[in-house]
Structure 1
Amino acid sequence: MKRSTTTLAALLLGASTALSFVPQGARAADTGPLRFVLVPKVVHPWFDKVNDGARAAADSLSQLTGRKITVEYAAPQTADVSAQNDIIERSIATHPAGILLDPLDGKGNRAAMEESLQQGVGLTIFDSPAPEGLDVTAVGADFCEQGTLAADRLAGLIGHKGAVAIMMGVPTAPNHAERAACEKKAFAKYPDIKVVATGIDNDSIETAQKQAAAIMQSHPDLAGWVACDAAGPVGIGQAIRENGRVGKVAEVGLDNLNDMIELIRDGVAESSASSRPEMQGYWAVIAAWQKAVGQKTPKFIDTGIDILTKASLQAGAAR
């Protein structure tokens, strides 16, 4: 399936069309400001891109409806479930129009998510499957497809044989866990590929770099890497470069951090499967706003996946 790169500029270009479904009465019935709180997993460049998309949607809605709509960004400093729950609970107490949440742990965040709904604060999930049994909209990619695309691409790069490793991200995070499971399932299709190691980086580039270096030292015959989060492949790429393994250890990354894009341009990583963070933030705000003005929202909004390669990046730069 052919994928094309989606930029924030493209989102903004289509804003007037995308927002043409303003519910009848939403422009005139209520004129007070609406504030949404965006709670990511952790302070991280990937979530900065989500926030960019969220603010773009808020600005477009403000212009379209004449009502001030804002997004407050509240990120835990580390990928810690308790810290994230504390932010959710403090946000609920300020009575926002809605909370946009990327849960660190479906079970660990459950009570805080239920409290949000019980207190009448709308909840929209992004970058994660919808929690079972909760009436919320989830915005994101097909995470299994994303992991499978990365694993199958790596398998082709190494001739469908050899030792591979997976960087797991935050294992309790529903999207990271789903990618990891589907990557393992994809590799299992190839009898001559063996997953010899898994790292856990907890969405930290520095941790990923250290874990990747240690794994490559323990497995000098390692043929390639995939990851389950955005930080992991950056750290992996740094370890490949620092250990003189460029051209010897293949990498297919995840998502579109600037550092990931540079690794592709430099030939350290062959490609990356990106889940379009700007679009996730954009449509999470649209869904949260619809809910706030009393409209029904879809169960899931699929923002799609881009395959980024050196060729596609060059083509995008030339446009």
Structure 2
Amino acid sequence: MKKLTVISAAILGLSTLFVSSATFAKTNEIAVIVKSENSNFWQNVKKGALAAEKELGGKYKVSFQGPQAETAIDEEVNMVKNAINRDVAGIVLAASDPNALIQPVKEAFQHAIPVVIIDSGINSDGKYYQSYLATDNYAAGKLAAEKLLAELKGKGGKVGVMSYTPGSDSAIKRGGGFVDAVKAQKGIDVLETRYSQSDMTLALNQTTDVLASNPELVAMFGANEPTAVGMARAIKEKGYAGKIVAVGFDGNKALQDFVRDGTLNGIVVQSSYQMGFKGVNTIDRILKGEKVEKFIDTGVVYVTKDNIDSEEAQGVLY
């Protein structure tokens, strides 16, 4: 009976489909599934999601989970499938891999469970999910490059790019925006991108290697929280703080401290809290039959020593 209802509702359109799904759902759970639980960035997503749960007055129960590491893609796939089996009301998902998560998101769609993607997308040509809430990562990478180049003031040399998970949608776009902008500058040689697998210790070791083997190095970019922390620690430990321009991405306490002491010239900070908060609220809007935007830009703030204590910066730092 439920299957016939869902099929009939599909003919009337997606919004009707999801309203029908909400009627038949076994639970009122909204599952928030992220790349890893072991990061302040993702914990800030959790804070936002739980704040939305509270604002909605207990209408839904928000669950939160993620693998121990962002490289545990199969584990995240299983988490999505388990959420489908629990017949959750909706799923908020940060995809660790743009291809591996297509099938489980498709399965959610087939079960009339709305999916809102946050942070990193999937390569499904816009199908199977209802909205994508994220930083415009290409624009954010370009902004990081522009700030870094401004600090160089026309000085030429080599620039190191420290990224995280190869194949991740956000890593591809963020790194692409940065590299494209820097390569357009005359006199700059962009080194081959290093990937830390979002492991701070690996990022530290990779940065140490780049510093030692490139005497013409003038600047570095660390493209996510653990990578930027590892990069900054290596820069400081090896005595390069203030000698090279360094820009990070994300805004945990360690990165804030590196901005304050001058190890990092600045950090590009996403609003991970808003990803969680708006992600849950967007699921609620879908289930109420409202039309939602296909892409919602959650924005970034460039934080430096000069503005780190401002209201705007403090609103995104965590």
Q: Do both proteins adopt the same fold according to a TM-score greater than 0.5, normalized to the shorter chain?
A: yes
Give the aligned partner of residue 294 of structure 2: 299
Larger displacement relative to structure 2 (88-97 or 128-137):
128-137
Q: Deviations over 1:268-309 (max 9, x none)?
A: 101111111111111111111112233222101111111111
In the other structure, the counterpart of 1:168 is 163
The one-letter amino acid of 2:239's match is G
Give the corresponding residue for 2:125. 132
Deviation of 1:42 after TM superposition, in Å, equals 1.5
Aligned residues: 288
Q: State the shift of 1:133 in Å.
A: 3.5
Between the aligned partners of 1:261 and 1:291, the Cα distance in structure 2 is 37
d(CA) in 1 for partners of 2:177, 2:297: 18
1:7-26 matched pairs, under 5 angstroms: none
CA positional deviation for 1:143: 0.8
C-alpha separation in 1, matches of 2:79 and 2:146: 38
The one of 153, 160, 163 aligned to 1:159: 153
Give yes or no for the alignment of 1:101 onto 2:101: no
Q: Is the contact made by 2:27 and 2:89 (CA closer than 8 Å) also made in structure 1? A: no
Q: Structure 2 counterpart of 1:182, which letter?
A: G
Tell me if 1:120 matches 2:112. yes
Higher mean Cα deviation, 294-303 or 46-55? 294-303
Name 1:213's counterpart in structure 2: 208
CA contact (8 A) 2:94 2:121 kept: no
Distance in 2 (CA, whole Å) between partners of 1:215 and 1:287 is 43
Spell out the pairing of 1:33-182 with structure 2 (5 A cutoff): 34-43=28-37, 44-62=39-57, 67-79=58-70, 80-129=72-121, 131-134=124-127, 135-160=129-154, 161-182=156-177
- On the 8 A contact 1:81/1:108 being kept in 2, the answer is yes
User: Counterparts of 1:275 and 1:82 in 2: how far apart (Å)?
Assistant: 26
Residue 112 of structure 1 aligns to which amino acid in structure 2? P
Aligned mates of 2:285, 2:51 — CA distance in 1: 16
Contact 2:140 2:174 in 1 (8 A): yes
Amino acid at match of 1:308: V
Cα distance in 2 between the residues matched to 1:114 and 1:318:
38
Shift of 1:220: 2.7
Q: Which residue, out of 193, 201, 204, partners 1:198? A: 193
* Structure 1 match to 2:6: none
Instruction: Verify the 8 A CA contact 2:27 2:87 in the aligned structure 1.
Output: no
Counterparts of 1:318 and 1:179, CA distance in 2: 23
C-alpha RMSD of the superposition? 2.2
Q: Secondary structure at the match of 1:190?
A: coil
1:251 matched residue in structure 2 = 246
Tell whether the 8 Å contact from 1:40 to 1:74 is kept in structure 2 after alignment: yes
The question of whether the paired residues in 2 share the 8 Å contact of 1:164 and 1:197 is answered with no
The amino acid that maps onto 1:233 is A
**Secondary structure at 2:158's aligned position in 1?**
strand
Per the TM alignment, residue 120 of structure 1 is displaced from its structure 2 partner at its CA by 1.8
Alignment partner for residue 238 of structure 1, among 225, 233, 238?
Answer: 233
Counterpart-to-counterpart distance in 2, 1:91 and 1:203: 25
Gaps of 5+ in 1: 1-24
What TM-score does the superposition give when structure 1 sets the normalisation length?
0.85
- Percent identity over the alignment is 24
